[in-house]
Structure 1
Amino acid sequence: MTFSLILRDPETGEFGSAISSSSPAVAARCLNLADGVGGANSQNVTDPRLGPQLLERLRSGATAQQAIDAVVAAADPTTIDYRQLLVLDGSGRAAVYSGGRALGVFGSATRENAVAGGNMLASLDVLDALVDTALSAKGRIEERLYAALQAAMVAGGEEGPVHSAGISVVADAGWRVTDLRVDWVDEDPIGALGRVLEAWLPQRDDYVDRGIDPSAAPSYGVPGDE
């Protein structure tokens, strides 16, 4: 019911993740990022507790594969077979776990600095489209993540229609500098997400400045915000 991607920009040190699903509010439940640490997505009959557990392993010095191995070994053996986990560590190494009870056509694609996974896919070509587009696209990491989502849909997307989508990015600010979600629309959540991204991206760094030094960012004409 989901396809997703984690991407590392080795030049900026930013980590980002993009996701789309037939389920509502997928980005709220599945994406986990930490400044300078990496990313971890927990999907397919999602257990939202697993993503933070994977990040904690990365913080303690584990590689992506070591984090996956440890979390899977410690998980409830009656449920872990339903899960799909993606991890990208601070060095750009990727690892994936897909339990045997993952839904429909499922799989993963890994490259240096990128990992994608999905289930209930139209085909596994969707995953190659995600990672290859993200690594070859130009622009800021958000733009590359969005291009990857578009390419995934051109490659076939999910077996059925998608209804939610999201993009999140961390960049050493101490919080998600981008955290955009379309939690439910009947048609084209990725297109709707693109319109939000178009409005957000020119202002992203100003909102980082607001958090760090409130005097340094413009008000954008918001009443009472001079």
Structure 2
Amino acid sequence: MTFSLLGRCARTGQIGAAGATSDIGVGARIQHVAGGGGAVLTQHRTDPRLGPRGLALLRSGCSAVETVAALVASTAHAEWRQLAALDAAGRTAHHHGARVKPARAAAHGRDCVATGNILSNEAVPEAMRRAFEAEPDAPLGDRLLAALVAGEAAGGEHGPVLSAVLEVHGGHDFALADLRVDRAAAPIAELAGLWRDYAPKIDEFVLRATDPDRARGGASGGLEISA
């Protein structure tokens, strides 16, 4: 009951994930992203422990294929897991356990992999791949969101979607964007609104962290209340 995509921007090196599900709080469970390292999805009967384990493998130099193979080999319940990985070079891999419920599917493209379970039809991940690849020069967050919108338009999953997530990492050890709608009637539309408001602020938020003297109001002294 989840459809999601991992994607990389070849121009900037940014890596991110987007996903949606008919349960609450999808962003707390499925995506694990590391700037410069890669990303992992763990879903269906989700085991969040596999995410950090996968990122450690990617950081150690394992490819996406090697990472997914190691995760499958190291869990006692691989038949319940749906996994995907994207490494820093843009290579991808996925795993569908034998007990992952249909419709289930995956689609691999340039710097991206989309996957889903309990889908309305097997064409959903392919629609997400096409949308992600359509504008390769667009900001990564825009492309991830376009993939999510396309997945929903292609049929999404069997049940009504309740939660959605968009996460983007760059060259820092913190997320450039980590936006979540945990329960809503139209979570993907709400997520799109959050991204429209948040995206223009990203550079300023990074500056506050990395060079606060240059941030707006950074040299004024006194008490400043800001995020």
After TM superposition, the score normalised by the length of structure 1 is 0.94
Residue equivalent to 2:26: 26
Residue equivalent to 2:186: 188
Distance apart, 1:139 and its partner CA: 2.2
Distance 2:138 2:89 in 1: 21
1:46 and 2:46 correspond: yes
Distance 1:178 1:113 in 2: 19
- 1:209 aligns to what SS in structure 2? helix
Cα displacement string for residues 109-157 of structure 1 (whole angstroms, at most 9, x for unaligned residues): 1112000110011111110111111111352110111111111111111
> Is the contact made by 2:110 and 2:133 (CA closer than 8 Å) also made in structure 1?
no
- 1:161 aligns to what SS in structure 2? coil
Distance apart, 1:217 and its partner CA: 2.1
Q: Give, as a single letter, the amino acid of the residue that structure 1 aligns with 2:138.
A: G
Of 113, 116, 120, the residue aligned with 2:114 is 116
Distance 1:153 1:30 in 2: 18
1:157 and 2:171 correspond: no
* Matches for 1:1-226 after TM superposition, within 5 Å: 1-76=1-76, 79-137=77-135, 139-185=138-184, 187-218=185-216, 224-225=224-225
Cα displacement string for residues 9-42 of structure 1 (whole angstroms, at most 9, x for unaligned residues): 0110000100000011111111111111111010
Q: Give, as a single letter, the amino acid of the residue that structure 2 aligns with 1:35.
A: G
Task: Calculate percent identity across the aligned residue pairs.
Answer: 38
Distance apart, 1:218 and its partner CA: 2.4
- 1:104 aligns to what SS in structure 2? coil
> Is the contact made by 2:40 and 2:86 (CA closer than 8 Å) also made in structure 1?
yes
Distance 1:215 1:28 in 2: 33
Distance 1:193 1:54 in 2: 26
> Is the contact made by 2:105 and 2:123 (CA closer than 8 Å) also made in structure 1?
no
Distance 1:71 1:16 in 2: 20
Cα displacement string for residues 80-132 of structure 1 (whole angstroms, at most 9, x for unaligned residues): 21110010011111000110111221111111200011001111111011111
Distance 2:35 2:79 in 1: 29
Unaligned runs of 5+ in 2: 218-222
Distance 1:217 1:81 in 2: 50
Q: Give, as a single letter, the amino acid of the residue that structure 1 aligns with 2:58.
A: L
Q: Cα RMSD over matched residues?
A: 1.3
Distance apart, 1:68 and its partner CA: 0.8
Distance 2:171 2:32 in 1: 15
Unaligned runs of 5+ in 1: none
Range with bigger deviation, 12-21 or 104-113: 104-113
Distance 1:198 1:70 in 2: 38
- 2:172 aligns to what SS in structure 1? coil
- 2:130 aligns to what SS in structure 1? helix
Distance apart, 1:211 and its partner CA: 0.6
> Is the contact made by 2:16 and 2:169 (CA closer than 8 Å) also made in structure 1?
yes
Distance apart, 1:225 and its partner CA: 3.6
